[in-house]
Chains A and B, each alone.
Chain A
């Protein structure tokens, strides 16, 4: 089946730093979504991004479907950005999830 790999698995940064999270997938997919799971366990949809680039405030995402990867950029990190970032690819309505990147932003 399709494999979804996220890197790095863990990332610790100081407040104000920028970061890039990567998601590689092994096969063609219909779509890709990025989620943030905050320390309280809430799962929040960040981007729905089959291809191209989207921006939302300090966050942006780029998916290059032909090369089977997506990047999530976080600029000027804040402590509230801490949590786990998941990418999930859409394969016939089932989402296949990566293992996540655990991000810790230190004040």
Chain B
């Protein structure tokens, strides 16, 4: 697609429910990143894929968080048994490859998650 697309844009859920956030990167982009951004702060790294391989998941806060990119394109970030502290803007970004040469990051508009 023309840009990074995320859905849903807004999600309100009750504590304890599972949520799935979707990211459709720019066509042809190998690398895909998930970030979380709290109000007034910079993005916080969660996880990173090259093609379908999850290269680093060290930023995922705990085992309730998981991500996949089964066909090397669309990715899903899943949060199980949501808690109020999970409320944040979840951002997806893609780059042609990595963050080195040619690695400009392009962000989607984000999915704002509110856990009641």
Contacts and interface: CB of A to CB of B under 8 A. Distances in A.
B42 A48 contact: no
Contact of B105 (A42, A95, A98, A100): A95
B45 A95 contact: yes
A43 B43 contact: yes
Contacts, number: 58
Contact of B42 (A30, A94, A98): A98
A105 to B, nearest CB: 19
Contacts of B31: 93
Interface in A30-78: 30-31, 33, 35, 41-45, 48
A97 interface: yes
A81 interface: no
A88 interface: yes
Contacts of B1: none
Interface string A8-50: 0000000000000000000000110101000001111100100
Contact of A95 (B89, B99, B106, B109): B99
A100 B42 contact: yes
A31 B42 contact: no
Interface of B: 31, 41-45, 48, 55-56, 59, 89, 91, 93, 98-100, 103-107, 109-110
Interface of A: 30-31, 33, 35, 41-45, 48, 86, 88, 90, 93-95, 97-100
15 contacts: A30-B100, A31-B100, A31-B103, A42-B107, A43-B93, A43-B107, A45-B107, A48-B104, A86-B42, A86-B43, A93-B99, A93-B103, A94-B99, A98-B42, A100-B41
